[in-house]
Amino acid sequence: AKAKGKNNYQFFSDDMSLIVSRKIALENELRRALTNKEFLLHYQPQFNAHTGEITGMEALVRWQITDGEIISPANFIPLAEETRLILPLGEWVLNTACEQVKIWHDAGHSHLKLAVNLSPLQFLDDDLLDMVGRALDQTGFPASSLELEITENVAVDDIDLALLRMQALKELGVNLAIDDFGTGYCSLSYLKKFPLTNLKIAQSFVRDMAINPHDEALVEAMVLIGHKLNMSVIAEGVETEEQLALLKELGCDEIQGYLFSKPLTTDHFSQLLSKEFAT
Ligand code: C2E
Ligand code: CA
Ligand code: CA
């Protein structure tokens, strides 16, 4: 029995070391990719639900590995968080997005808002305010056009710290959105204290709302909560006309999803803008 136990241990340990060494390899890849500038941004347009006009966009990071293949963020953001590489990566994302959208502003589309995702680690990092301030200074992008997306979970460990961070960001003049609303762990009593300007209804509720009356009821309630708390409400993951019609009926302000557009490369987004505003 002892021998068997030892073997089991041995097996387990080999397995673990394999996982660990794979992780280290991937971590080194990430580090190298940052130095080699292998990341790029796609921009998914957001629309006014009632007029159909483009109101802005969400910047979404991609990893372009050398042979042209593109890796989606779901496959590297978690490791980037774990290794804290999300800090330099996130700074690159913010700088690059502000720089690009400034170009669109200067080309005559100055009404466009830019939404950028902040991971919990970034949000709680001591350098956050300086980092955001630097990005705005260096690019000349107006703070009032920037919207930082955070998730409810940033507030789980330390509500007071989260509140202070949000207030400081507001003082910089940037807007704050709560992303994936309804999927996290934030109670409504805290939500009302946070200086949020935008509420993003999570994709999972939107997906099922046309087939499940419970999801429709929840979306309706989320729109009401958002509006009562003076937030603009956006639904993401809108894929069908049916979902769009329901969301408009429920008073949702903005829409983002494949029904209108997938996330676009910089060039394709420029083309969309020139088509949209051609007279
Ligand atoms: P998210 O912030 O919830 O972003 C929305 C995701 O939904 C994007 O996936 C987008 O491509 C996808 N999406 C948009 N419309 C539709 C639709 O109609 N149907 C469906 N099925 N999906 C839709 P993506 O780009 O793969 O990003 C996944 C997640 O990775 C993001 O979820 C976000 O949490 C994270 N992420 C992306 N870029 C960044 C970044 O720069 N920083 C950080 N910290 N996280 C990021
Ligand atoms: Ca987001
Ligand atoms: Ca989201």
pLDDT attached to residue 253: 98
In this predicted model, which residue has the larger pLDDT, 276 or 115?
115
Those residues whose C-beta lies under 8 Å from the C-beta of residue 197, and which sit 6 or more positions away, are 147, 175, 176, 177, 230, 231, 232
Residue with tokens 């956050």: 128
pLDDT attached to residue 154: 85
What's the token pair of residue 213?
């009356």
pLDDT attached to residue 109: 97
Over residues 47-64, the pLDDT tens digits come to: 999 999 999 999 999 999
Q: Residue 18 pLDDT > 90, yes or no? A: no
Cα 16 to middle of ligand 1, angstroms: 30
The mean-pLDDT minimum among 63-67, 104-108, 128-132 falls in: 63-67
Alpha-carbon gap, residue 112 to 110, rounded angstroms: 5
In the chain, % of residues over pLDDT 70:
94
Looking at the CA of 263, name the nearest ligand: 1
Instruction: Name which residue sits closest to atom 2 of ligand 1, judged by CA.
Output: 117
pLDDT attached to residue 2: 44
Residue with tokens 């729109």: 223
pLDDT attached to residue 1: 40
As beta bridge partners, residue 229 has: none
The mean-pLDDT minimum among 74-88, 181-195, 211-225 falls in: 181-195
Of ligand 1's listed atoms, the one at least distance from the Cα of 61 is 38
What average pLDDT does this structure show over 22-30? 86
In this predicted model, which residue has the larger pLDDT, 6 or 276?
276
- pTM for the model: 0.93
pLDDT class for 8, splitting at 50, 70, 90?
A: low
Cα 12 to middle of ligand 3, angstroms: 37
Contact 121, 84 (CB under 8 A): yes
Looking at the CA of 177, name the nearest ligand: 2
Cα 180 to middle of ligand 3, angstroms: 4
Q: List pocket residues of ligand 1, CB cut-off 6 Å.
A: 44, 60-61, 72-74, 77, 90, 93, 117, 119, 179-180, 203, 236-239, 257-258, 263
Cα 190 to middle of ligand 1, angstroms: 25
Q: First-to-last CA distance in the chain?
A: 82
Contact 275, 45 (CB under 8 A): no
Number of H helices, E strands in the chain: 11, 9
Of ligand 1's listed atoms, the one at least distance from the Cα of 236 is 15
Cα 182 to middle of ligand 3, angstroms: 11
Alpha-carbon gap, residue 154 to 164, rounded angstroms: 12
CA distances from 21 to 17, 60, 202, 259 (A): 6, 29, 35, 41
Alpha-carbon gap, residue 203 to 236, rounded angstroms: 5
Instruction: Name which residue sits closest to atom 35 of ligand 1, judged by CA.
Output: 73
Burial category of 147 from C-beta neighbours within 10 Å (exposed 0-12, middle 13-18, buried 19 and up): buried
Over residues 230-248, the pLDDT tens digits come to: 999 999 999 999 999 999 9
pLDDT attached to residue 41: 98
In this predicted model, which residue has the larger pLDDT, 159 or 234?
234
Average pLDDT, the chain: 91
Pocket test for ligand 1, best of 86, 236, 243 (most atoms within 8 A of CB): 236
Alpha-carbon gap, residue 209 to 218, rounded angstroms: 9
Q: Residue 202 pLDDT > 60, yes or no? A: yes
pLDDT attached to residue 9: 53
Q: Please, which residues have CB less than 5 A from ligand 2, an ion?
A: 117, 149, 179
Cα 267 to middle of ligand 1, angstroms: 19
Looking at the CA of 150, name the nearest ligand: 2
Q: Residue 215 pLDDT > 80, yes or no? A: yes
Its ipTM equals 0.98
Angle CA 71–76–82, to nearest 5: 175
pLDDT class for 10, splitting at 50, 70, 90?
A: low
Cα 154 to middle of ligand 1, angstroms: 18
